[in-house]
Chains A and B, each alone.
Chain A
Amino acid sequence: MGYAAAKGGLDAIRAAEELVRRKRVAAPSPWLEVDQLLDRQRLAVDRVMGEGGLWAPELAARALRQAEGDVIEASHLVRSHRSTLPRFAYADAVDADEMTILRRIVPAFRNPPGPQLLGRTVDYTGRLLDPMPEDQAREAAAEAAVAVAEAPPEVAPDAVEPDPARRRPRRLYELLRDMDLMVDRRRDDDPEPADITRTPARPGAPRSALLATMARAETGALVQLWYRNILGPDRHLHEVTLGEVRHGELPVRVAHPTTGEAVTLGRIRATEVEAIEDLDGIDEEVDRFDVGYGLCMGHNERKAIAMANLDIAVHRDQGRGPLEQSVLQTTDGLDASGFLEHLKLPHYVTFRSMIERKQARRDVKAAMVRGDDADLGKDCR
């Protein structure tokens, strides 16, 4: 019986590992190259980086391949790799206005300041499974690759030299602020962002800890928590309109250890969202809007939108309900999945203890029915 007492636990583990390895590594199809994943499974790689909390496209692609496409498993590989690395410095905080946008939409206005830049999206493409036969598709892809290499098409906005003003547009909430339509929540003490990987985020944590938690959270968990507020028992959201949905590049800068000057180490891609909330609470400024903020690594609009919505929802709840705790404690993919899957581990010691108590309860009950002089609960029958 049983894996717990499995004969030679390590032999069983080794056999299981060999099965996984043989099926994945020694599959009869060609080896899956990292650049194939980077080029053709971009959104999955981005999600692994975002949920793994590490900007490292090639490592994330390798993790995705090793995890056989399981995003949470791949994020786990990336995060435990992070744990092996010493931390030598914190990056300087970057102003999100420095983002060079690759895509930007403003649902709140027809003609906002700055561009509506559709960019790389399938939002308005029919979700039709491509029926093209494999060999034709392969041929077409090869031809397209040659064509792109020879003549970059004019319609690809990334290919033309960006106009700085268009690529760094003013954000919508600034316009609303000018119109005196925004609650002013700016603060002048400008605290350092919390580091949730060093200090556990608990209710009452600063907003930066809340945002950092959601930035690393599992996408589906945030979407579910958002939807609970729309259809389910939580009602912390009223009527959100998106001010900004952006995908673009941000620089990463670190202070040089000797000169102290900021040095740009590289650039990451991020998705940024502003969620404009129509305040309607009795204790709120109902003649103004408020804004929630979402920012996550890579291209993951679903996550950034849910995050921005939940940010403003937590603010509006003011710690009255359990929402803040839910966001901080229940949205991490590794926490939830790991604990869920730990139910597969042997539990026969705890289960034996449960059976023993069930029998003890029966024995006491039987003694009471017989009218024995049971000490316990005698006066309370």
Chain B
Amino acid sequence: MTLSDLLGEPSPGRTAQLLEPRPERSELLDEYSKREIRRACLTAVAVPGYQVPFGSREMPVARGWGSGGLQVTLGVLGDDDTVKVIDQGEDAGVNAANLRRLIRDTTGVATTTDSREATVVQTRHRVPEDEMTDEQVLVLQVPVPEPLRGVERDMAELARMHAEADYSKMWVSLYEDVVRNGVITRTTGYPCLVGGRYVIATTPIPRWDVPKLHQSRHLSLFGAGREKRIYAVPPHTDVEPLTFDDVPFEVERTPGACCRLCGAGSPGQPESFLVEVPQLDGPSTWVCSDSDWCMRRRGIEPLSEPAFDDEPHDADEEGF
């Protein structure tokens, strides 16, 4: 497909082509809609951090379940792409498995669980632990794209605040947080200034993942289906967490915690984002949230084309 195919107006020949029955598989989006999404993505890349409105379509997954991420993924996918889908860092989660199945069955592209092989990674709540490359696109599912909603509800006022880069209410709220609590208590989706201009909600990715967006080699596309917005962090763009000179930005870290499967976080080992596994008869244990990264560290090679009837991440054995 050429660029003019992507951007041009529909010609009669193209219309006729679209009218042709395509019995091989049923697509979730018509070509016009995909083009609209690609245009919104291009605008988003051109204006980093700006929330571009788009005519979000209804997807076969409910709004709030990744309908925005799915539209962006379908919009940017080409035939040669390889897709990975994770939810909470994991490939085998039910919603990730469902989205991966939908994408594979309706586009025919290859899928993988290996972060290094994927060209498009669709994710909910995490960024893979492996550093992504300039040949990869990260598509983040966004439940709440508006970073300022906690301090302002009126949409007209929000539009003004972004337009004038008036983030004073956000700064006041962070200041009050420090005064009242001694720390900034923002948890996930930490507000960040992109390219020195727009404040974005970093979806609910943990603070641990926020530095991975800063001056990254990969493109990050944020799709909010329910709220009908797409925004982007292009490669090599500043992503600065909002904080004060004398209040350091803190990522999630629990002293002494390490992955009980691969040992990440223990002395001499690399660190990863860990999730807690409460135990009935003792203190909590911890495991990596990025199951693919964790398995590779243990010498379990993932399958490039996952056979879904197999069990790529055997949870029973690991006691999840």
Binding site for B on A (CB under 8 A): 1-13, 76, 79-80, 82-88, 195, 197-200, 202-204, 319, 322, 325, 329, 334-335, 337-342, 345-350, 352-357, 359-361, 364-365, 367-368, 374-377, 380
Contact = CB atoms under 8 A, between A and B. Distances in A.
Contacts of A79: 58
B97 A5 contact: no
Counting chain B residues whose Cβ lies within 8 A of the other chain, the interface size class is 35 or more
B89 A349 contact: yes
B131 interface: no
A80 B58 contact: yes
Most chain A beta-carbon contacts within 10 A, residue among B101, B250, B252, B276: B252
- The secondary-structure label for the interface of chain A is helix
B53 A348 contact: no
Contact of A353 (B62, B65, B183, B188): B188
Contact of B246 (A1, A346, A375): A375
A350 B273 CA distance: 11
Contacts of A9: 92-94, 96-98
Interface stretch (B27-35, B42-50, B191-199): B27-35
- The secondary-structure label for the interface of chain B is loop
B211 to A, nearest CB: 15
A380 B318 CA distance: 47
Given A84-B30, A203-B156, A349 B63 contact: no
B67 interface: yes
B17 to A, nearest CB: 10
Nearest to B31: A86
Given A8-B311, A83-B30, A357 B183 contact: yes
A338 B70 CA distance: 15
A102 B269 CA distance: 76
B228 A353 contact: no
A7 B314 contact: yes
B206 A84 contact: no
A337 B67 CA distance: 13
Given A9-B94, A83-B30, A199 B53 contact: yes
Most chain B beta-carbon contacts within 10 A, residue among A6, A204, A367: A6
Interface in B63-113: 63-65, 67, 87-90, 92-98, 101
B218 interface: no
Given A198-B55, A334-B58, A4 B187 contact: no
Interface string B135-166: 00000000100000000011110010000000
A376 B316 contact: no
B214 interface: no
